[in-house]
Structure 1
Amino acid sequence: MGGVDILHVDDDKGLTSLTADLLERKDSRFSVKTAASATEGLQLLDDFSPDCIVSDFEMPGTDGLEFLQAVRAEHSKLPFILFTGRGSEEIASDAISAGATDYLQKQSGTDQYELLANRIDNAVTRYHSEKQLRETKEEYAAVFENARNGLLLVDVEQDGFRFRRCNSRVSEFTGLAESELIGKTPREALGDENARAVAGAYRKCVAMRETISYTVTLTHPVGDVVHEVNTTPITRDGEVEQLVVAFTDITERYAREQKLREERVVIQQALDTLDEPLFVTDTHGSLKHCNRRALEVTGHTEQTAVGTSITDLFPDDERETMTDAIDDALRTGRTTVTASLRLDSGQRRPYEFRVHSLTDLDNNIAGLVILGHDALDT
């Protein structure tokens, strides 16, 4: 805690001067401004933001309780200590009921200022801690609510899970209102089938005690939705107490990817009908794809072939020929070359290879397609 600004309100100017001097001596962080009346104190509050107010009770015009009520109308949490020479249980009770942070009766001697300084320090420390906590909660709440992902806070209970909180994205992605989720178990909110998928992932996260990522398809009021999910455990004293579930709707993307996968399967089936070996490489000659005939001839599998250099499939004395052909195709767009493949049997067989460059959507060269025709069949 840094400097502590204090507003002391009392109609006894000699007392306020003494109190300011003694408090500032007691604690070097303290800086005291004084006001001779509640009205003056309220005027100072328009331009001054103290960390604590110390006020007398009996003052002309507006007394300390009325001053407190006026302060509380604008500053509900600001520490307010009633420091008064008039003491009674009734006044203390009224002060606390009106929202006073503390009540201290004036005594003779300077020891009371040690006590007052301690009360101020305790009140201000608590005030700043609570303020920081509120601000942190507000910041987290803003992040939570404005996140692009759907966010769920899930309580981990002895026999299952219960939704505690969600942001507006959850309703957008699912069509479920907040009232249909919060306070409910997955089965109550989502139905049996959805709950089994969700609870299974939650149990896995609790068991692993680390973030897990997964994709799940759930049926919601908006229809079947594919969720891409990250679930993170929150632990306390070694136990997982809550889960933070962040998800987004990838239904459209999943559908596009599924269509692309299906198209690739069709293309692969078409290429596998060829009786001639076909290879696809990147611009460096590294194999990206082979058809079935290419794998049969060379004795490779898809796993052992992909990532190797195309020249590794040829005898040593043919590799320079293939390297030159690749360079030529990258430069001119296409070329034809005759070279011998190294067969699965260890023998070699000549093929006439037609090499064509491939381009991406920006018309930049992305790789090569190499189709071989058995030279012995010509």
Structure 2
Amino acid sequence: MGGVDILHVDDDKGLASLTADLLERKDSRFNVVTAASATEGLQLLSDLSPDCIVSDFEMPGIDGLEFLQAVREKHSKLPFILFTGRGSEEIASDAISAGATDYLQKQSGTEQYELLANRINNAVTRNRSEQKLRETKEEYAAVFENARNGLLLVDVEQDGFRFRRCNSRVLEFTGLAESELIGKTPQEALGYENSRAVAGAYRKCVAMRETITYTVTLTHPVGDVVHEVNTTPIIRDGEVEQLVVAFTDITERHAREQKLREERAVIQQALDALDEPLFVTDIDGRLKHCNHRALELTGNTEETAVGTPITALFPDEERETIADAVDDALRTGRTTITASLCLDSGQQQRYEFRAHSLTDLDNNTAGLVILGQDVSDT
């Protein structure tokens, strides 16, 4: 804990000065400023921003309890210790009810100042910890609410799960009202079919005790939504007590990817319908794709072919020629060469290969497409 600024209010200036001196001797971190009345104390309060107030009870004009009430109107959490020569259970009760942090009766001897110093230290330490916790919670709440992902806090109960909290993105992604979700079980909020998928993932997360990632399609008031989800367990005392569920709506992306997969499937069927072998390479001349005829002739599968240098499909004596042809096609955009393709049977077959360069979206050369035509009978 760093320095502690203390405002001490007491109409007995001699006692106030003595108290300040003894407190600063008891703890070198203490810096005590005195005021001779509650009115002066209130004037100093805004300028000093003290970490703690120590106040007498019986003072002319505004007494200690009235001073406390005035402080609490603007500083609800500021530590306030009533340090008074007049002691009774009634005063102590009134002080605590009015919001005093602590109550201490003045006594003879210097031991009371050590006790007062301890009370101040404890009150300030606790207040700073609580302030830090409040700030952390506020930061967490701001991050939680402003996250781009939908965020759900889910309680893990003995017989299931219950939604504890959500941010506005959850409501946007689902079309649900907060009252339809928070405090509800998955089945109450999402319906039977949706809840089966959701609760199944939650149970898996609890069992594995680690973050799981998955994609799930749920039916919401806004329609069918594809969620990409990360679910993370919160473990306390060895038990999974809550889950943090972060998800985003990838419905449009999923639809685009599905459309792309369908288009690729159609293109692949068209390429596989060719009677001639077709190869696609990268800029290093390694195979990226082959049609069905090319795989059939060479005895490869898609898995064994991908990454293989295209030169490996030709006899040793022709590989340098094939490599030169690949370089020429990458440089000029196209080339034609006749060469012997090594077949799965161990034989060779002459093909005329026409190579054309391929470009990426930035118009950079990305590889070659090579189509062979059987010329063994010519």
Could you tell me the TM-score, scaled by structure 1's length?
A: 0.98
Matches of 2:94 and 2:230, distance apart in 1:
52
What is the root-mean-square deviation in Å for CA atoms of aligned residues? 0.9
**Cα 1:169/1:377, change in 2 over 3 Å:** farther
What's the offset of the Cα at 1:262?
A: 0.2
Q: Which amino acid aligns with 1:66?
A: E
Shift of 1:347: 2.0
What residue is the counterpart of 1:314 in the other structure? 314
Distance 2:83 2:73 in 1: 20
- Residue type of the alignment partner of 1:5: D
Q: Residue 363 of structure 2 corresponds to which residue in structure 1?
A: 363
| Partner SS for 2:49 | coil
Secondary structure in 2 aligned to 1:195?
helix
Aligned partner of 2:187 in structure 1 is: 187
> How far has the Cα of 1:225 moved from its partner?
0.3
C-alpha deviation, 1:239, in angstroms: 1.3
Q: Aligned AA for 1:201?
A: A
Give the superposition deviation at 1:346.
2.0
Measured against aligned partners, the alpha-carbon deviations of 1:88-135 in whole angstroms (never above 9, x if no partner) come to 111111111000000001111111001101111111111111111111
1:60 Cα offset (Å) = 1.4
Secondary structure in structure 1 of the residue aligned to 2:11: coil
The equivalent of 1:216 in structure 2 is 216
Structure 1 residue 116 corresponds to structure 2 residue 127: no
Q: Name the counterpart of 1:132.
A: 132
Cα separation, 2, equivalents of 1:289 and 1:173? 39
User: Where does residue 12 of structure 1 map in the other structure?
Assistant: 12
SS state of the match for residue 284, structure 2? Answer: coil
For 1:279, the equivalent position in structure 2 comes to: 279
Task: Compare 41-50 and 143-152 and name the one that shifted more.
Answer: 41-50
- The 5 Å alignment of 1:241-320 reads 241-320=241-320
CA distance in 2, matches of 1:230, 1:133: 26
Q: Which runs of 4+ in 1 moved over 4 A?
A: none
Specify the code of the residue in structure 2 equivalent to 1:292: H
Query: Percent sequence identity over matched residues?
Result: 88
CA deviation string 1:289-338 (max 9, x = no partner): 11000100110001111122212222222211111111101110000011
CA distance in 2, matches of 1:307, 1:37: 87
**Partner Cα separation in structure 1 for residue 342 and residue 156 of structure 2:** 61
Q: Which moved more, 1:24-33 or 1:76-85?
A: 24-33
1-structure distance, mates of 2:257, 2:298: 31
Aligned to 2:165: 165
Give the whole-Å Cα distance in 2 for the aligned partners of 1:41 and 1:316. 98
What are the within-5 Å matches in structure 2 for residues 190-209 of structure 1?
A: 190-209=190-209
2: CA distance between counterparts of 1:309 and 1:81? 83
Q: Provide structure 1 residue ranges, at least 5 long, that are not aligned to the other structure.
A: none
In structure 1, how many angstroms separate the alpha carbons of the residues matched to 2:105 and 2:253? 71
Report the Cα offset of residue 176 of structure 1: 0.5
Instruction: Work out the CA distance in 2 between the residues paired with 1:170 and 1:129.
Output: 32
Secondary structure, in 3 states, of the residue corresponding to 2:58? coil
Aligned equivalents of 2:374, 2:73: Cα separation in 1: 93
Partner letter of residue 228 of structure 1? E
Could you say which residue in structure 2 is the equivalent of 1:94? 94
Residues 21-100 of structure 1: pairs in structure 2 closer than 5 A: 21-100=21-100
1:273 and 1:296 mapped to 2: Cα distance? 13
Tell me the SS of whatever aligns to 1:357: strand
String of CA shifts for 1:226-260, please: whole Å, max 9, x gaps: 00001111111221111110000000010000000
Letter in 2 for 1:269: Q
SS in 1 for 2:214: strand
SS at match of 1:204: helix
SS state of the match for residue 354, structure 1?
strand
Describe the SS at the equivalent of 1:82: strand
User: How many Å separate the matches in 1 of 2:189 and 2:215?
Assistant: 19
Deviation readout 1:183-238 (Å, 9 max, x if unpaired): 11000000000000001111111111111111100000000000000111111122
Mapped to 1, the partners of 2:137 and 2:161 lie a distance apart of 23
- Tell me the SS of whatever aligns to 1:224: strand
TM-score (norm 2): 0.98
The residue identity in structure 1 corresponding to 2:318 is: E
Give CA-to-partner distance per residue, 1:1-34, whole Å, 9 cap, x none. 1111111111111111111111111111111111
C-alpha distance in structure 2 between counterparts of 1:270 and 1:257, whole Å: 20
- How many residues align? The count is 378
Q: Provide structure 2 residue ranges, at least 5 long, that are not aligned to the other structure.
A: none
Query: How far apart, in 1, do the equivalents of 2:53 and 2:310 lie?
Result: 82
What amino acid is the match of 1:225?
Answer: V
User: 1:355, CA displacement in angstroms?
Assistant: 0.5
User: How far apart, CA to CA, are the structure 1 residues paired with 2:170 and 2:312?
Assistant: 53
Alpha-carbon separation, structure 2, partners of 1:10 and 1:106 = 12
- Distance in 2 between residues matched to 1:234 and 1:51, nearest whole Å: 35
Instruction: Give 1:105's aligned residue.
Output: 105
Deviates more, 1:141-150 or 1:278-287: 278-287
Secondary structure (helix, strand or coil) at the match of 1:152 reads: strand
User: Which amino acid is the alignment partner of residue 128 of structure 1?
Assistant: R
